[in-house]
Structure 1
Amino acid sequence: MANSPSASPEKLVFKTLRDQYLHFGLPVDDIDEKTDFSIHNLKDIHATLPYISQTFRPNFFSFVFVKNGSGKYTTDDLVFDTVPGTIYFTNPGHYKSYHWKQMEEVYLVTLSESFLKENVHPDVFEEFPFLLAETVQPRVLAEAEFAEFEQLYLQINKEYLAASPYRNRIIGNLFVVLLLKIKEYFWKDYNPIYEGNRSSQIVKTFKLSLEKHYRDLISHKVEHVFRVQDYADEQFLHPNYLSNVIKIKTGKPIGTWIAEKTIAEAKSLLQNSATSIKELAWMLGFTEATHFSNYFKKHTGTSPVLYRKQHLSSS
């Protein structure tokens, strides 16, 4: 069981793993802050055991592969044992904490939605809907089955440490294989819309609607960009009620979800298409390219043109 945090959990919200480790006083030497992806053996991070974390809310996806280790981890109000052969993942917005009693080989992979969109699959949540799950039960695999995943995450780790200009693309393709293996073993027929209580269903319906709406925008099936009222209307809810549920359940305002989705799609289009900035802006619901450019720079710190040039120069 996790210890009581010294600060309010609401205040412990981390956009990146590096931010989280800096806050907890953990080493960050092996974390590349230039990419929204990281992988490492937790043994290299936690020199002193047992280790009990504070409660926090990450804004990134985490995948954990426990070849040899033991402890517990908490997601919201659910506590799970961690034993050799365990595989589990969590997605953004949930309260988390973990307690490691012993570890030899425990690999942690973290990545953002933007990295998934840019390097794994533009429609990643369509092909892998289990990534939207409210709470994912851990799985414990037999040694031979776990070895298939070990081969993949060790290869990903090798590529992460390499200096290849194609590093992110290679990692992205390897991660597709890893997700397909997870889907094959655990969630072949999984549909997150049927999981959880009423509030959980509202959140998952919103996430699926958000994903579908941006696919429809980009494929020119719709032109009108959804606002909070539109997402509320889809579920026959008052927009204030929907906003409150999303904020309480995920820790992020609904406007933040929409903004992050817009930026994730913009990054994917800038990297993976030759669409002009003007056309791209229109596809994402901006009436003027300058409005889109200002919006993109506000959220990323760089302009769409410079972002595309930087990607092309590293491809």
Structure 2
Amino acid sequence: MSTSLSPPIDVKLNGFTVYEKNVTLQEMAQPRLAAQVFSRRDYYKVLLLESKCLIHYAHQSLELDGQYLFFTNPHIPYSLEMRTDQLHAYACLFTEEFVKAADRSESLQQSPLFRIGSTPLFKLPASQADYVRSIFQKMLTEQEGDYPFKGDLIRTYVQLLIHEALHLQPADTVFQPKNAATRITSLFLELLERQFPIEPPTQQLPLKTPQEFADRLAVHVNHLNKAVKEVTGKPTSAHIAGRILDEAKALLQHTDWSVASIGYCLGFEYPTYFQNFFKKHTGITPLSLRRKA
């Protein structure tokens, strides 16, 4: 039986929940903790990871050994692989509406911790890890309590987590000025992510090729390709294919839609086109992945 870092189904406090998770390797049928289920909804997430593991985020894979604070947004799927017999973590999930209830400042998507293109992972010194853990424990206590203003108090705790992370790097790193190539790459990645997640099976991706993205951004496709390759080291087409592949895996694992319906949503005219694309990039068929999941 697979185990994930997912909380109870009902998100408490109308847009917020916090929980502590201990998972042993023996409790799991497979070594990976698939957490994409919460990329299917509107929850932002902050995790305190305290065990050795491998984290897959967007198109990156990072080895963790120590205590880390990790921020995710609902547009980018991630997963964890255990590198020890037990994984221990704290996590809180919240909607933008919950956090911004008393604040009308910039959107969370514009935050340096949650915006697309960032790597929101911070290694914590032991003393700071103790402090961050205490914040999670206070949120757990308040969540179960009956204090009438606990929502306001928990919002303050979430802001404390955000500021602790911002303190871990200098301001000129967090708010680094962008050159032209970086700006257009950021716009491309944001435009790409805004197409996801696919919710109803009748939804279709509006943009699927570098030319379509270039047209939407009002730039020449060669200019877009050059900028994206310069900034990320990968061509535009690789980012598009990778993101479509991530969405295909999530839909295969977390919906009962037919393979043909999933292929249609992702812009493939015929099911065989989708099957060939999926097998080319993964080495297995869509149905094989679904059976494994």
TM-score normalised to structure 2 length: 0.53
Greater displacement, 128-137 / 117-126? 117-126
What is the CA-CA distance between 1:192 and the residue it aligns to?
7.1
Residue equivalent to 1:43: 22
What is the CA-CA distance between 1:102 and the residue it aligns to?
3.7
Cα distance in 1 for partners of 2:125, 2:137 equals 18
Cα distance in 2 for partners of 1:94, 1:29 equals 18
Residue equivalent to 2:162: 179
Are 1:191 and 2:165 matched, yes or no? no
Are 1:151 and 2:134 matched, yes or no? yes
What does 1:25-40 correspond to in 2, within 5 Å?
Answer: 30=8, 32-34=10-12, 35-40=14-19
Are 1:53 and 2:38 matched, yes or no? no
What does 1:125-144 correspond to in 2, within 5 Å?
Answer: 125=108, 128-144=111-127
Question: Could you list the per-position Cα deviations for residues 98-122 of structure 1 after superposition, in whole angstroms to 9, with x for gaps in the alignment?
Answer: 1123446411122222222225664
1:121–1:106 distance in 2 versus 1, CA, 3 Å: farther
Residue equivalent to 1:202: 187
What does 1:122-271 correspond to in 2, within 5 Å?
Answer: 122-125=105-108, 128-186=111-169, 188-189=171-172, 190-191=174-175, 194=178, 200-203=185-188, 235-236=217-218
Question: Could you list the per-position Cα deviations for residues 274-310 of structure 1 after superposition, in whole angstroms to 9, with x for gaps in the alignment?
Answer: xxxxxxxxxxxxxxxxxxxxxxxxxxxxxxxxxxxxx
1:164–1:198 distance in 2 versus 1, CA, 3 Å: same
What is the CA-CA distance between 1:201 and the residue it aligns to?
1.0
1:182–1:25 distance in 2 versus 1, CA, 3 Å: closer
What is the CA-CA distance between 1:66 and the residue it aligns to?
2.0
Question: Could you list the per-position Cα deviations for residues 127-162 of structure 1 after superposition, in whole angstroms to 9, with x for gaps in the alignment?
Answer: 944321423152222211222212222212221222
The size of the alignment, in residue pairs, is 204
Q: Is the 8 A contact 2:4 2:35 kept in 1?
A: no
1:126–1:95 distance in 2 versus 1, CA, 3 Å: closer
Aligned residue type for 1:181:
E
Q: Sequence identity of aligned pairs in percent?
A: 12
Cα distance in 1 for partners of 2:243, 2:79 equals 16
How large is the Cα RMSD of the aligned pairs? 4.4
Residue equivalent to 2:62: 80
1:162–1:61 distance in 2 versus 1, CA, 3 Å: same
Q: Is the 8 A contact 1:130 1:187 kept in 2?
A: no
Cα distance in 2 for partners of 1:153, 1:162 equals 14
Q: Which runs of 5+ in 1 are unaligned?
A: 1-22, 208-231, 252-315
Q: Is the 8 A contact 1:129 1:191 kept in 2?
A: yes
Q: Match of 1:144, SS?
A: helix
Q: Is the 8 A contact 1:64 1:108 kept in 2?
A: yes
Q: Is the 8 A contact 1:119 1:172 kept in 2?
A: no
Q: Is the 8 A contact 1:199 1:249 kept in 2?
A: no
What is the CA-CA distance between 1:171 and the residue it aligns to?
0.6
Cα distance in 2 for partners of 1:233, 1:249 equals 20
Aligned residue type for 1:201:
S
What is the CA-CA distance between 1:33 and the residue it aligns to?
2.9
